[in-house]
Structure 1
Amino acid sequence: MSTALAKPQMRGLLARRLRFHIVGAFTFAMAERRKKAYVDLYTNYDSMKDFEEFRKAGIFQSAK
């Protein structure tokens, strides 16, 4: 008695693999865009300026 190997599914294989890789590429592209946005934000970020604006607005009640 010999056991035959199951035939590989060939129909739709390319479409399934492309769908998987397109989703991965899109996710990776969005992550890179977000990283660039953070870098752009923090290149000229002044935390003391923001702190003073928040303090004047009354957000930080303990810091007068």
Structure 2
Amino acid sequence: MAHFTRHVEGTLRGLAEPLAKAKKKNARRDAIHTLSSIVGAIILARAVDDPELSEEILREVRAALD
């Protein structure tokens, strides 16, 4: 698990860094939200057996994160 934790921390740093440079107040919180949304969307999209719903999930989460 330590390896996975390091990977998640690295990903969060990578997501938070540009936010922090843009003077975003809650860069780490926003990075956690973004990563959680991406992972959740991928899991849901892969779990459903309806291709249209799968695409809709990914599209809507992508739009919310833009």
| TM-score bin (small chain) | 0.3 to 0.5
Structure whose CA Rg is larger: 1
Q: Which has the higher contact order (CA 8 A, sep 6+)?
A: 2
TM-score (norm 2): 0.36
As a proportion of its length, which structure holds more helix? 2
